[in-house]
Amino acid sequence: MRLLALASLLLLTVGVGAAAAQPVPPSVEQQIAKRAGIESYTPARMMTGWHYARWQYVPGELRLWFYNRSHWEVEFVVTPLLTASCDAGKQKTFQLDGSKVYWSQTTDPSVDRYQQQAWRCVKGPSGRWMRLVALSPLPPTKLADVGLGIVAASGRLIHA
């Protein structure tokens, strides 16, 4: 029974529809690839009802913002892996779309800008490890942890 309830919540919160097949417009991906170079990763999947808003790149950090109709925010962030281990700080581990994804949350939103994050690490074309993170100020009671996990798992390298 609990599994059925979880599956229902997952479908309501995480459902990926045809409209979300490519969450970042191809023209935007081309701009990102030209500016960010080897750090050009975008999510290939996004939760239903969430839409691309904008992006920003500063050397060493690429950020993309997505919003839903309630103006809730999800960020997709790409940075070099700075710790010795990708799983540092994890509270949960998921296996999603063939990728190991880690998840954590803060219980005090004043400490960090986000309440929860899901991430995975990939070896980039330069041989450097990159951390792909989906994060949100929303608690897991409003946005399923697996939803962020699916976004992080779908991160893919784009080319100019």
pLDDT digits (tens, 9 = 90+) for 97-150: 899 999 999 877 666 666 899 999 999 988 999 999 999 999 898 999 999 999
Q: What's the pLDDT at 116? A: 95
pLDDT for residue 160: 66
The domains of the chain, with CATH numbers, are 2-157 (2.60.120)
With beta carbons less than 8 A apart as the criterion, state whether 73 and 66 touch: yes
Other C-beta atoms lying within 10 Å of the C-beta of residue 48:
16
CA separation for the pair 126, 38 (Å, rounded):
7
Mean pLDDT rounded to a whole number for the chain = 86
Checking if the pLDDT of 17 tops 70, the result is no
Cα 58 from Cα 44, distance rounded (Å) = 22
Evaluate if residue 75 carries a pLDDT over 90.
yes
Please tell me the number of Cα atoms within 13 Å of 30 on its side-chain side.
3
pLDDT at 107: 74
Helix (H) or strand (E) holding 41: strand 41-43
48 pLDDT higher than 70: yes
Indicate the pTM of the whole model: 0.84
Mean pLDDT, range 1-19, rounded to an integer: 40
- Per-residue pLDDT, 4: 36
Q: How many residues does the chain have?
A: 160
What is the Cα–Cα distance from 54 to 24, expressed in whole angstroms?
9
Position 37 pLDDT exceeds 70: yes
**7 falls in which pLDDT band (50, 70, 90)?**
very low
Give pLDDT tens digits for 151-160: 999 999 998 6
Provide the greatest CA pair distance for the chain.
49
Tokens 């950020």 locate to 63
